[in-house]
A and B are shown apart, each in its own frame.
Chain A
Amino acid sequence: MIPAQFDYVRPDSLAHAFRELASDEDVKVLAGGQSLLPLLRLRLAYPSKLVDVARLPELAGVHDRDDHVFIGALATHDEVMRSAAVRQGCPLVALAAATVADPAVRHRGTFGGSLAHADPAGDLPAVVLALDGVFVARSAEGEREIPAARFFVDYLESALRPGEILTGVKIPKLGDGWGFHYEKFHRTAQAWPIVGVAVAVRRSNGAIQEARIGLANMAPTPLRARAAETALQGTELGDQVRQACGEAATGTAPPADLHAQPDYRRHLARVLTHRAVRTAAGAP
């Protein structure tokens, strides 16, 4: 199918981009376009203008900083999954990025674009939420930081304001003793996850000291499985962990769609959380 008409501008600076974004309320930001183009083609979106930010250097690259990795909004999934900084500093992000769509889409699709799209079924929102990432947004008024816990507002709705552009995300480095896993459950390789579970756990003396769990597609926004995180504290691998992971669906509001009903998603969240925690904790 064929997109409806729109205007197009490729600003040469962030300042220029801000002006363009302010010019009309139906303006949309274009980065890799891997979420946007299918929507345009199906005529599910009618932007008046696309502001192509894909060549703005301020948004590019992956940067290893002291206590965090700064992933530029324009870093592609392919770049992220291969980045040494990401693989060392926040391996969970690399694991999840490698599961996004397929190789060709990962060459074009951007980290920032996926997050700003705020699709609760996306792989990366749950991961950034689990890792307490911090979103960095710029506008004509300046820069502000938005913690992941406040970034995902509703279905396909982020905390970005009109005129604001996501420049990147700070992912805190978790240091030694942490293990990670992303468990994606989907019917075919390129299908969206029915449920995704992103897990980081810190283990010492044979017990889980701390767990962070992000859930994809369990509510209109990505969620933290707080009840399970709490219950996991101090548990030992085995029945204790299994029992604690039974809390993984607490507080969720999973959707009903073509591929699953809510009760099945809740069940999956519990089973997959258990599997992800065991793998992250290095269980045999």
Chain B
Amino acid sequence: MTEVGKARRRKEDARLLTGRTQWTDNLRQPGMLHVAFLRSPMAHARITRVDVSGARGMTGVVAAFSGQDLAAEQGSLPCAWPVTEDIVIPDHPPMAVSAVRYAGEAVACVVATDRYLAADALEAIEVDYEPLPAVLDLEEALAQDSPKVHEAGNQAYTMKVTSGDIDAAFRDAPIVIERTYHQQRLIPAAMEPRAVVASTDGDAYTIWTSTQIPHVLRVMLALTTGIPEHKIRVVAPDVGGGFGSKLQVTAEEVLCLLLTRRLGRPVKWNESRSEGNLTVHHGRGQVQRVKLAADADGRVRGLRVELLADMGAYLMLLTPGVPLLGASMFNAIYKMDAYEFGCTGVFTTKMPTDAYRGAGRPEATFGIERIMDELAAELKADPLEVRRRNWIRHEEFPYTTISGLTYDSGNYEAATDKAMALFGYDKLRAEQADRRDRGDPVQLGIGVSTYTEMCGLAPSRLLKEARYAAGGWEHGAVRMLPTGKVEVITGTSPHGQGHVTAWSQIAADALGVPFDDITVIHGDTAIAHKGMDTYGSRSLVIGGVAVLQACEKVREKARKLAAHVLECAPDDLEFADGAFKVRGTDARATIQELAFAAFTAHDLPDGVEARLDSEATYDPDNYSFPHGTHLCAAEVDTETGMVRIRSYVAVDDVGKVVNPLIVEGQVHGGIAQGIGQALFEEAVYDTEGNLLTSTLADYLLPSAADLPDFVTDRTETPATGNPLGAKGVGEAGCIASTPAVVNAVVDALRPHGIHDVAMPCTPERVWRALEGARS
């Protein structure tokens, strides 16, 4: 059996399970100092005075700086996605100098010999603020008379794209449904808080940081600080989750680099959870106006989407682009005649938003999957039946959608049929009807969501069209060591995904070497020197293929050597089970023998180098399009409003699977996060712009006791765009589960005349919806 497809247990686990970890906060450098940041208690204010002198004399304090002190050298944090020609990208100093624009923005810092003393010294810093009005609501922010977050106004950009004759689609349409949905702000809350260690030998700099993007960060640090790129080494040691939140160039990373440069000593900063809730970029944050036109039989004619997207106070690395990742996704798996998408990015005095698991695609999927349920309700038809009437049939692939993407493969019928069978769809519908008839105070809701996502970010040519500042290739390298063992170097930067295991499986098959003979190196720009890192469900689809192609190049090099050793023509050789065999004879050379031959170099043919290693970069032609059908049964207590998920079934099609165990784990975790958005999580700011959910006592993450077991299964329709046939799985669960759960809640309440409950569907919100319906 090949390694690819096996449920291999992870190579990563042993060290994580025994505490032999390299979290950034575990690292120490000789003479290391500790940094603490003083943060604005106000959402919006002019800074009129910062006096750090009180801190400077305190025990253990080595230095204290205000934003003014660093102003000349700190530059501006980068935005890599100027989505329109006329986008407004405001200056974003890592430490505020003259104004603060969100609660939590750093205004000063202390560097001390110990983290306790650094924390104490913050209290001796004096800051005078002249309060300015907070800007919180997206619609009010766009009003003429709104207070301004930045001088240029509160609109960062606005754009619109249309495909097909949208007016014709809506003209005389028998059914037109219009809804407004709110995507609340979420706090990504990776379990490992951020941490940074920076050091310098006076010339070169090393920064260890809890990041998903060591390679991107290195380039950006060079561009923002002026330190030459070859003098910067970025290391992502063990990284405890990201979910997009560590896909960022953060103020703290830049400032730690500047502080080590100023002081000539290593510095460490580690974030507290309450600091992180305030200052790790938030996710989502949209108002979605969705309007759908359909024929009387439920065929969708057209879709109009108008988004207001909350940028927060500044544009960070990908901030403006995140909502636009949904631009081609609202039409989802459905065929239609016309589509219009518009989006306006709005500044507010809140923490900037940026990528959070799914980034734009969960929001789009929510919008369409919610309104497809409304269409079903309008037609008094089964929601799956209405979807079936509209989706792309499996024989229609490849299919170019109304928004212009070409879906290479898929089978929505198969995934849906399998999900319905596992779920016991008809039986649950019967129970629902029975509970409705009996007037049971606990009603049953059945929620449906299909989805697809464009992932495997991304083809560089398409990224150029989207005005993204970089490409989307990935790099892989393979080194055969003299003893026949293998080092795989990858440009992806795993933080929980299990790349070490999965890449080993790919390389084991490609080179015919044992799984255990392979080690995978990543996350250090000095060693894994080239990469575009990990986000957007791209690692396997792009990075895995790069590894595969690097292995194939090694194999071809080895073939030349084997032909020389075995005294035959390269074409006479066949490769199987890790050895080249001369066809029709017993003569063979294993790849390990060839690796040793390359090492000794005693008898290399002309033109063959003394190395059996290779590199590859892979850049796909198209995105990949995983899809699936998720079904949720939720019990809604109509007396208290409490929602309890009774069962959850997910059938995903992520193409060919390298490691089913890892795939299942990704789906599980995604579902839990999507349920978190549907029922529990919301970053809440008060009317002054203070974050009320600054701790995990207030920002509610679901625990094991709050979630059911998930039933997961797969269908397998290989991607046709890459040699692995893989489609990506990192974000899938999180995309489908939110609408599935909210559809279940609304389905339970629909007999009461309720057609929406805002997220998170808290008991109070459900109760208020019922109260509103009763009165």
Contacts and interface: CB of A to CB of B under 8 A. Distances in A.
B639 interface: yes
Contacts of A194: 763-764
A259 B764 contact: yes
A189 interface: yes
Contacts of B695: 42
Contact of B762 (A187, A189, A267): A187
B704 to A, nearest CB: 8
B764 A261 contact: yes
A133 B702 CA distance: 35
Contacts of B642: 185
Interface in B91-122: 115-116, 119-120
Contacts of B697: 38, 191-192
B698 interface: yes
A5 interface: yes
Contact of A258 (B120, B123, B272, B693): B693
Interface in A227-281: 258-261, 264, 267-268, 271-272
Given A258-B684, A264-B764, A264-B768, A4 B120 contact: yes
A194 B639 CA distance: 15
Given A1-B274, A191-B700, A264-B768, A185 B640 contact: yes
Q: How large is the interface on A (under 10, 10 to 19, 20 to 34, 35 or more residues)?
A: 20 to 34
Given A2-B116, A189-B706, A191-B700, A264 B274 contact: no
A42 B274 contact: yes
A190 interface: yes
Nearest to B706: A188
A133 B116 CA distance: 42
A260 B762 CA distance: 9
A259 to B, nearest CB: 7
B634 to A, nearest CB: 15
Contacts of A268: 640
Q: Is the interface of A mostly helix, strand, loop or mixed?
A: loop
A128 to B, nearest CB: 23
Q: How large is the interface on B (under 10, 10 to 19, 20 to 34, 35 or more residues)?
A: 20 to 34
B692 interface: yes
Contacts of B119: 1-2
Given A4-B120, A5-B120, A260 B639 contact: no
A267 B767 contact: yes
Contacts, number: 52
Contacts of A42: 274, 695
Nearest to A185: B640
Interface string B683-722: 0100000001101011011110110000000000000000
B635 to A, nearest CB: 15
A121 to B, nearest CB: 11
Interface string B268-284: 00001011000000000
B680 interface: yes
A1 B272 CA distance: 5
B126 to A, nearest CB: 17
Contacts of B274: 1, 42
B700 A188 contact: yes
A261 B767 CA distance: 12
A38 B767 CA distance: 32
B115 A188 contact: no
A233 to B, nearest CB: 24
A189 B705 contact: yes
A138 to B, nearest CB: 32
B764 A258 contact: no
B762 A259 contact: yes
B763 A258 contact: no
A74 B240 CA distance: 37
Interface in B726-775: 762-764, 767-768
B697 to A, nearest CB: 8
A251 B606 CA distance: 96
B768 A188 contact: no
Contact of A188 (B123, B693, B702): B702
A258 B692 contact: yes
Nearest to B686: A258
Contacts of A187: 680, 700, 762-763
B118 to A, nearest CB: 9
Nearest to B692: A258
Given A42-B274, A189-B705, A271-B640, A264 B767 contact: yes
13 contacts: A1-B119, A2-B116, A4-B120, A187-B762, A187-B763, A188-B680, A188-B701, A189-B705, A190-B703, A192-B697, A194-B764, A258-B692, A261-B764
5 nearest interchain CB pairs? Answer: A189-B705, A2-B119, A1-B272, A188-B700, A264-B764
Given A5-B120, A268-B640, 4 more contacts: A185-B763, A188-B702, A190-B703, A264-B768
Interface of B: 115-116, 119-120, 123, 272, 274-275, 639-640, 642, 680, 684, 692-693, 695, 697-698, 700-703, 705-706, 762-764, 767-768
